[in-house]
C-alpha cells in the first residue's frame, strides 16, 4: 500500500470514528426529558408521599392540576390520603415518550391482615421537565362481585414480559388496538373485528369478568350479550410500551339509555398486546360510578 493510500485510509477511518462519536451526542439532545428509570422513581416518591401523608418531597409544577374521582382537588387531599399505612399490591407502567406514569395498587389503613378498610387505587401522572404537572387519582373502597381489595397481593407479571421483536406492535398500532376495544364496548364495531388472543382474560378490580361465573363469555364472546354495552366517550391514550406490548388508556364508560342498570364510570384500562392480539386487560375504576373524569371534557376540564 502506497503512502498516499495509507493516508487516505487513515483519514477515512478518522472520519468514521468522529461520526460514531457524534451519534450519542445527537441522540442525547432528543432523549426523553424523564427516562424510564426517572418516571419509576417519580412513582416511588409519589406512592411514598401517599403512605407518609407528606407531599413535601414531590416536585410539582407551579400549575399542577390534580383530580380525585373527577373532582379538582389540592395535592395530597381526598380519597385515602392521611389513612394509608400499607400498599401490598403494586404495579407500575411508564412511557418516557409522553411522560406518563401510571400506578395500580390496593391500600389499607392498618398494618395487619385484619384490615378495617381497603381501597382499590389508581393514579396517572404526567411528568414534564422532571416535575409532576398532572395527577389523576381514583380511590374505591367497595367490591366488584364480592372480591375485596385485600384479595390482591401480587401483580400480573405478564405486563413486565419483554416481547421478541417479531411479536411487537408499534405505538400507533397499540393505541389503535385499545381504541378498537373501546369501539366494540360502545357497539360501534363487531367483536370479531377486534384482535383477540386465545389466552385473553379481562380483570376488573381483581375479578375475572370473562371466562368466569361472572361472565361466561370469552373476551370477545361476552359481546354476544347485547347488555354488555357502554358508550365509551372521551377516550384518552397516554402510554404505549412497544417492548412489552403494553398500552394504557382511559375512557368514560357511560350508561346506555336502553340499559339503565349498567353502571357507568371512568375506567383506567391496561392492555397486554402480543402478536398484535389483546392477551390481557386490567381495569381499575370507581365502582360506585363516576360520571366525569375532569380531563378533556370541555372548557376548564
Domains, the chain, with CATH or none: 36-155 (3.10.450.50), 159-285 (3.10.450.50)
Residues 6 or more apart whose Cβ sits within 8 Å of residue 122? 102, 103, 104, 105, 137, 138, 268, 284, 285
Model-level pTM? 0.87
The pLDDT assigned to 31 comes to 56
Q: Which residues of 4-36 are buried (b: 16+ CB within 10 A; e: fewer)?
A: eeeeeeeeeeeeeeeeeeeeeeeeeeeeeebee
3-class DSSP string for 142-194: CCECCECHHHCCCCCHHHHCCCCHHHCCCHHHHHHHHHHHHHHHCCCCCHHHC
Q: Is the confidence at residue 29, as pLDDT, over 60?
A: no
Q: Is the confidence at residue 214, as pLDDT, over 70?
A: yes
Average pLDDT along the chain: 89
**Residue range 120-130: average pLDDT?**
97
Amino acid at each position: 500500500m502506497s503512502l498516499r493510500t495509507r493516508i487516505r485510509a487513515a483519514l477515512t477511518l478518522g472520519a468514521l470514528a468522529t461520526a460514531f462519536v457524534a451519534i450519542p451526542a445527537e441522540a442525547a439532545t432528543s432523549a426523553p426529558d424523564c427516562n424510564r428509570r426517572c418516571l419509576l422513581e417519580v412513582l416511588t416518591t409519589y406512592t411514598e408521599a401517599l403512605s407518609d401523608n407528606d407531599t413535601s418531597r414531590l416536585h410539582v409544577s407551579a400549575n399542577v392540576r390534580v383530580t380525585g374521582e373527577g373532582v379538582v382537588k389540592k395535592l395530597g387531599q381526598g380519597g385515602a390520603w392521611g389513612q394509608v399505612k400499607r400498599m401490598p399490591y403494586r404495579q407500575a407502567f411508564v412511557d418516557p415518550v409522553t411522560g406518563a406514569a401510571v400506578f395500580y395498587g390496593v391500600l389499607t389503613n392498618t398494618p395487619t391482615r385484619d384490615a378495617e378498610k381497603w381501597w382499590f387505587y389508581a393514579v396517572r401522572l404526567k411528568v414534564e421537565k422532571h416535575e409532576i404537572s398532572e395527577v389523576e387519582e381514583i380511590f374505591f373502597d367497595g367490591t366488584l362481585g364480592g372480591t375485596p381489595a385485600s384479595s390482591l397481593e401480587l401483580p400480573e407479571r405478564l405486563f413486565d414480559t419483554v416481547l421478541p421483536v417479531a411479536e411487537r406492535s408499534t405505538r400507533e398500532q397499540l393505541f389503535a388496538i385499545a381504541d378498537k376495544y373501546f369501539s366494540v364496548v360502545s357497539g360501534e364495531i363487531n367483536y370479531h373485528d377486534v384482535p383477540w388472543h386465545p389466552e385473553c382474560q379481562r380483570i376488573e378490580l381483581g375479578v375475572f369478568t370473562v371466562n368466569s361465573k361472572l361472565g361466561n363469555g370469552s373476551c370477545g364472546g361476552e359481546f354476544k350479550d347485547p347488555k354488555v354495552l357502554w358508550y365509551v366517550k372521551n377516550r384518552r391514550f397516554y402510554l404505549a410500551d412497544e417492548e412489552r406490548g403494553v398500552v394504557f388508556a382511559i375512557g368514560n364508560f357511560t350508561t346506555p339509555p336502553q340499559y339503565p342498570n349498567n353502571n357507568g364510570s371512568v375506567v383506567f384500562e391496561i392492555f397486554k398486546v402480543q402478536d398484535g392480539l389483546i392477551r390481557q386487560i386490567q381495569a381499575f375504576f370507581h365502582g360506585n360510578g363516576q360520571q366525569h373524569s375532569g380531563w378533556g371534557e370541555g372548557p376548564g376540564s
